[in-house]
Amino acid sequence: MEHRIEEHLDGLMARYPALEPCRESIRAAYGIMEDCYRRDGKLLIAGNGGSAADSEHMAGEMMKRFRMPRPMPPALAERMKEIDPKRGPGLARNLERGLMAIPLVAHEALTTAYINDVDALGVFAQQLYGFGREGDVFLGISTSGNAENILNATVVARALGIRVIGLTGRKGGELARIADVAVRAPEDETYKIQELHLPIYHCWCMMLEERFFA
């Protein structure tokens, strides 16, 4: 599999040469995620604004097929058919295995209640405390690396034994200093950083999908 990782990284660098300085950190972050999923953990993702959209985008790619089929195990398919001969065959045919990923930006009732009743800057920390378990991974996306709600979540993550990956801009901010791995897209303007974040997490999705479903 190692040679395929390099092939994917080579392809990413060919399409986006500006990312060459990030090659090793992209690989290292992938390794953390692979280890997490190999141990049946999950990925928790958060960001603000465009990075919130990226959080949901990446989670969506992880929870269903990205490029290749992910059929359910035959034993589970047969069990569904036995439980409901009418609905089971369609579910067995259409449901796809996922790599569990939770976007912490997507729970409006919880987040708005916590923001209104308790602490706006603690909203991701609260969700991480509720969803997170030792061995999981927190992916914090912040173009500046200084988003306070992301940094608050990293405190909870480290206390719970959850590894932290930062996806930032060139400067990295505080997030880059405290993350287990920081991938610093080599741009300084927010929109330019975000334009490089998408191909990075798409590459992670491809590599993880191939590792667990090929």
Domain extent listing, the chain: 2-69+98-213
Q: How far out from the chain centre does Cα 98 lie?
A: 12
Q: pTM of the predicted model, to two decimals? A: 0.95
> Using an 8 Å Cβ cutoff, are 204 and 12 in contact?
no
Distance CA 58, CA 199 (A): 11
Beta bridge pairs of residue 71:
96
Q: Residue 140 in 3-state DSSP?
A: strand
Cβ partners under 8 Å of residue 92, min gap 6: 72, 76, 77, 78, 80, 81
Q: Which helix or strand (DSSP H or E) is residue 145 part of?
A: none
CA proximity to 171, closest of 180, 179, 182: 182
Beta bridge pairs of residue 181:
165
Tokens read off for 48: 């603000």
Helices and strands in the chain: count of H runs, count of E runs = 10, 5
Distance CA 14, CA 19 (A): 9
Residue 2 is predicted with a pLDDT of 66
> What does the DSSP 8-state code read for residue 120?
G
Distance CA 62, CA 72 (A): 15
Residue 143 is predicted with a pLDDT of 98
Residue 61 is predicted with a pLDDT of 97
Residue 1 is predicted with a pLDDT of 63
Per-residue tens of pLDDT for the chain, all 214 residues: 666 999 999 999 999 999 999 999 999 999 999 999 999 999 999 999 999 999 999 999 999 999 999 999 999 999 999 999 999 999 999 999 999 999 999 999 999 999 999 999 999 999 999 999 999 999 999 999 999 999 999 999 999 999 999 999 999 999 999 999 999 999 999 999 999 999 999 999 999 999 999 8
Residue 86 is predicted with a pLDDT of 97
Cβ partners under 8 Å of residue 202, min gap 6: 61, 66
Residue 56 is predicted with a pLDDT of 98
Q: Which helix or strand (DSSP H or E) is residue 162 part of?
A: none
> Using an 8 Å Cβ cutoff, are 167 and 46 in contact?
no
CATH of domain 2-69+98-213: 3.40.50.10490
Distance CA 130, CA 211 (A): 28
